[in-house]
Structure 1
Amino acid sequence: MIVVGVDAHKKTHTLVAVDPLGRRLDQLTIAATPTGHQQACEWIGKFGQVLVAVEDCRHLTRRFEVDLLNARHSVVRVHTRLMAGARRSARERGKSDPIDAEAVARVALREPDLPKACLDGPSRDTKLIVDHRRLLVRQRTAAANKLRWFLHEIDPELPVPSRGLRRLCVFDTLEATLTGRPGVVVEIALDMIAECRRLTLRINALESRLRRLVRELAPALLEVPGCGVIGAAAILGETAGAARFKSKDAFAHFNGTAPIPVWSSNKVRVRLNRGGNRTINNALHMVAVTQVRGSGEGAAYYAKQIAAGKTVKEALRLLKRRISDRVFRALLADETARSRHDQPAEGSVELAA
């Protein structure tokens, strides 16, 4: 099969077609516009059935991927770290858009299990909401930290509960206390209270929306002990479909809970994987900490590892890997249930409007 590699940029995309032996057949540079995408689809169509390999930078290629998928082309994503070896092994030295596109195509020939691109669905909506909520939380935290200094300057004995600058009742109390006091500091503090209130209302609305989405999309994931709505939403959005992973081990490697082998000869050794998707890794860590504090299966497994001589960090990492496998099974179960629900019942007949 002919493979077309794509090197994407903000204004242009460069495409290079290679044969099964990795020899360059043709190349094309298009504008990163709908008209250019249409031109690329027509150019790719002259090769018949092809595999399109796109450098994995979705902020640049997402619209192009959608147009390629709508044109019935198979699209895979190539991580940028895989291209370095392909460029070094090429006959043509240097770096250019055609060289990079050819490297992308050669990686696709060499690697059989690259992640496949698919049309956006509810999982991306969940990811966008989670990312937007995280940004608003950071803005509220920055505003609340600055507000605390102003409140301390106005009245050092003013009672502000710990983590209280996220509760509407606390905002009401502070506004009632400060209203009518003179000074620029008080004026700024009231403005910042209003800003924290606005951010809190928006964050609460997003959390309610995520709760509805997760309960509909991933009920089995919510049944994992210690997995709350925000953690489940982060896992669901970042995973973008558990079926694209060939096994639970591949999913663990993706989220960074699988250790990295660093051994030779007869002694097997591994080290901590500091890579992988850190958002999912952080969510799994919070699930593990919650389970350890409880009295369920996770706490028993953690205590068993401690009794076997593991350190606290080692036992927690082993528990995270165990939770990763459980989460993977739950995601697959949810996706299977959704696919069955979306399929029409056997023997059903659609009535014309």
Structure 2
Amino acid sequence: MEPSVITIGIDPHKSSLTAVAVDAAGHPISQRRFTVNSGTLRQLTTWAAAWPERRFAVEGANGLGRGIAQQLSAVGEHVLDVPATLSVRARLLSTGGGRKSDPADALSVAQVALYRRDLRVVTCEDQNTILRLLSERRDDLAHERTRILNRLHGLLRELVPGGAATGLSAEKAAALLRTVRPTTATQALRRDLARDLLADLRRIDQRLKDNEAQSRDALAAAGSTLTEIHGVGVVLAAKILGHVGDVTRFRTADRFASYTGTAPLDASSGDQIRHRLNTGGNRQLNSALHTIAVCQARDPGPGHVYYQRKITEKKTPAEARRALKRRLSNVIYRRIRKDQQRVATAAA
């Protein structure tokens, strides 16, 4: 980085953000607090105009800092995404005993950006962002559907002898409710509440169908072929692409595997060589890879052959499944890179 470039660290909050500008040596030269409103971007860029050679570093550009990071990127500013875990470590290692304040947090963000060369560059939102939003919305709908089903199960258990079997659906619940003949006011109220929940369940089911259709369109617009991999449907493909984003930020398949939590962690000590399970990484991606691995281990195909080979090597089913997940991480990484390169070539 050129010595004249100023790094501006931003600690975002819901109602305010604090910015600290540091020089190439990491020394703070100016700081300012901004209230978050319609004029925040203009005020921030006006203040930053004092340093023509500048770049911004935003803590959590995929979370609380998404708004200001996207606004800065949209007006052509160079913006880096600093994970909160890195800025916390930088603050704890700094002088001052790790005391926390907004200016100290913003300073830590800037210093992390100054010395780390592997931070993600924030780009304008694209189809991957749309897929992530749709995936997160589907998760919310699925959780709401589970809550409604649990409530409906409880009422049906009190209305129908023996209750309702597992795997309850709107059609099955409606058929059971048609057999209910309440004999008391309390039972009549339970039936009415069950009907309301049934209407809610049908509404959620329709929204889930609409969400899947939107995800399918977004996948087509992104030019993804992930669904060609056995075990990867529209829902999982949307989740994977939404959380991965620009796959080029992972220089190798090994780095991608570390991000997905499928690469075992080295826990060697002295002459003892061992690895332990990685419980970190992006757990949404890890869960998606687990689902794919279960499907491939069960059904005929290359994944099943690989899984069975691990079993013959005296691996436990869980260990064989984890090995398959690690291999699937490589497969998905290469497929996403190939798709993005093809789309970029077609757009050129």
Q: Same fold (TM over 0.5)?
A: yes
Secondary structure of 1:214 counterpart: helix
Q: Which residue of 2 aligns with 1:45?
A: 49
Kept in 2, the 8 Å contact 1:41–1:71? The answer is no
Q: Which residue of 2 aligns with 1:306?
A: 311
Kept in 1, the 8 Å contact 2:61–2:122? The answer is no
Cα distance change on mapping 1:130 and 1:84 into 2, 3 Å: closer
Q: Which residue of 2 aligns with 1:177?
A: 179
Query: Is 1:67 the counterpart of 2:80 in the alignment?
Result: no
Kept in 2, the 8 Å contact 1:178–1:190? The answer is no
Kept in 1, the 8 Å contact 2:18–2:106? The answer is yes
Shift of 1:218: 4.8
TM-score by length of 2: 0.91
Secondary structure of 2:131 counterpart: helix
Kept in 1, the 8 Å contact 2:160–2:176? The answer is no
Kept in 2, the 8 Å contact 1:175–1:193? The answer is no
Q: Which of the numbers 11, 18, 29 marks the counterpart of 1:14?
A: 18
1:15-164 paired onto structure 2 within 5 Å: 15-56=19-60, 58-93=62-97, 94-156=99-161, 160=164, 162-164=166-168
2:80, 2:346 → 1: CA distance? 27
1:220-239 paired onto structure 2 within 5 Å: 220-239=225-244
Secondary structure of 2:262 counterpart: coil
RMSD between aligned residues: 2.0
Shift of 1:179: 8.0
Kept in 2, the 8 Å contact 1:31–1:37? The answer is no
1:221-260 paired onto structure 2 within 5 Å: 221-260=226-265
2:214, 2:59 → 1: CA distance? 33
Shift of 1:174: 3.8
Shift of 1:129: 1.3
Q: What per-residue deviation string (whole Å, max 9, x for no partner) do you get for residues 26-83 of structure 1?
A: 1121112231221111222321222211111644322211221123211111112212
Across the two proteins, how many residue pairs are aligned to each other? 340
Kept in 1, the 8 Å contact 2:262–2:329? The answer is yes
Q: What per-residue deviation string (whole Å, max 9, x for no partner) do you get for residues 186-234 of structure 1?
A: 1111111111111111111112222232244254211112111111111
2:316, 2:69 → 1: CA distance? 46
Shift of 1:161: 5.1
Q: Which residue of 2 aligns with 1:269?
A: 274
Q: What per-residue deviation string (whole Å, max 9, x for no partner) do you get for residues 148-203 of structure 1?
A: 22222222156x453232x5x33553454348887211111111111111111111
2:137, 2:88 → 1: CA distance? 33
Kept in 1, the 8 Å contact 2:224–2:336? The answer is no
Query: Is 1:187 the counterpart of 2:192 in the alignment?
Result: yes
1:155, 1:280 → 2: CA distance? 41
AA at the equivalent of 1:39: Q
1:311, 1:142 → 2: CA distance? 35
Kept in 1, the 8 Å contact 2:61–2:69? The answer is no
| Gap runs ≥5 in structure 2 | none
2:157, 2:218 → 1: CA distance? 40
AA at the equivalent of 1:145: N
Secondary structure of 2:120 counterpart: coil
Shift of 1:90: 2.8
Kept in 1, the 8 Å contact 2:149–2:168? The answer is no
Further displaced range: 321-330 or 179-188: 179-188
